[in-house]
Structure 1
Amino acid sequence: MNFSNEVNHIKVPIIEMPEFQERGYGDAEGLTPKERLTLFPDGVYPNQEDRLSLTKRVVEGLKEINIRFHDKKVLLVAHGAVINAILYELSDGEVGSGKTSLINACISNIEFRQQAWAIINFNQVNHLSSYGG
């Protein structure tokens, strides 16, 4: 592969929002998959953030984005649990948490229209095709 050394810069502010931090995995935080399986073979992690709290948190973040950046394009970068929580909430449980396996580095597009958030598409990977094999 021949990668260009050219770097494109987008001059926009980077804003960290705690509402979009990855789900807290409690006692399993920072463990390798093997360690998690050994310590928690049932997949239940003590002190893990529950899905309802996660969903409430990300919905508050979406409200904040809509207030602060209404009618603007926003790039939200987040981990899978956060993205799945957003998709689950916006689709009334049709996709997202417990139903959708997101591909690493995928893009999901949502839009605020007619006083509500709507999913345009999700799990998009076309932008990766020139790098994959």
Structure 2
Amino acid sequence: METTVCLVRHGETEWNALGKLQGREDVDLTARGAEQAVLTSKYLERRTSWDVIMSSPLTRAKKTAEIISDHLHTDPVIFLDDLIERDLGIASGMSRAEIAERFPDGEIPGQEPLAFVQTRMMKTLEYATQRYSGQNIIMVSHGAAINALLSQLSDGKIGTGKMILQNACLNFVSNHDGKWSIEMYNFTNHLE
């Protein structure tokens, strides 16, 4: 039996537009971010039927998930704390260039360890596939959190340290008889 999960990064926020990294800060979607969520829902609707939508409780993910849910007419969104963004510690609100300059060794005070992010994201993925086995699941989360999961699922071939996930990108993973595979990642053609 196969379970498909589409991991969606939230739509654009003002901080994204400014090039500032956001961790646990609760930054809202821009008008463009809301439009990205609409375009995402239209693409997902054409692809297949979806059984459940889960989301991080942070506003940018929550609103993205609710827009998708409204368009797809699914049950209410399920909010899970483990889908929240990686805590970036004192680097939150900085640009990538500022972080590289201030923390050249990559050691950022207060940043959530990558292994912790991977553990909680994997736990959520496993929970979803057990609870909704054989179904199609949408999970709305965040760039660093999804990247950490993709890195774990690919044994480090993609994900954290290899790419930047775009706003409202789609990342499809499937579980067939307990084995995970990445079908597509950082897909943004639906936004063009």
TM-score (norm 1): 0.80
Aligned amino acid, residue 80 of structure 1? G
What is the number of residues matched between the two proteins? 121
- Please give the root-mean-square deviation of Cα atoms over the aligned residues, in Å: 2.3
Task: Give 2:95's aligned residue.
Answer: 33
> Structure 1 residues 62 and 8 mapped into 2: Cα distance closer, same or farther (>3 Å)?
closer
Alpha-carbon separation, structure 1, partners of 2:129 and 2:185: 20
- Where in structure 2 are there 5+ consecutive unaligned residues? 1-34, 36-69
Alpha-carbon separation, structure 2, partners of 1:23 and 1:46: 13
SS of 2:183's equivalent in the other structure is strand
SS of 1:112's equivalent in the other structure is strand
Task: Give 1:102's aligned residue.
Answer: 165
Greater gyration radius: 1
> Structure 1 residues 126 and 57 mapped into 2: Cα distance closer, same or farther (>3 Å)?
same
Alpha-carbon separation, structure 1, partners of 2:175 and 2:82: 18
Query: Shift of residue 12 of structure 1?
Result: 1.9
| Counterpart check, 1:75 vs 2:138 | yes
Query: Shift of residue 114 of structure 1?
Result: 2.6
| Counterpart check, 1:50 vs 2:139 | no
Alpha-carbon separation, structure 2, partners of 1:69 and 1:9: 18
**Higher-strand-fraction structure:** 2
Give the % identical residues.
31
TM-score (norm 2): 0.57
Q: Flag the structure with more relative contact order, 1 or 2, with Cα contacts below 8 A and sequence separation at least 6.
A: 2
Alpha-carbon separation, structure 2, partners of 1:122 and 1:80: 12
Large movers: runs of 4+ above 6 Å: none
- Residue 79 of structure 2: which of 9, 16, 19 is its match? 16
- Where in structure 1 are there 5+ consecutive unaligned residues? none
Alpha-carbon separation, structure 2, partners of 1:70 and 1:47: 36
Alpha-carbon separation, structure 1, partners of 2:153 and 2:122: 9
**Higher-helix-fraction structure:** 2
Query: Shift of residue 88 of structure 1?
Result: 0.6
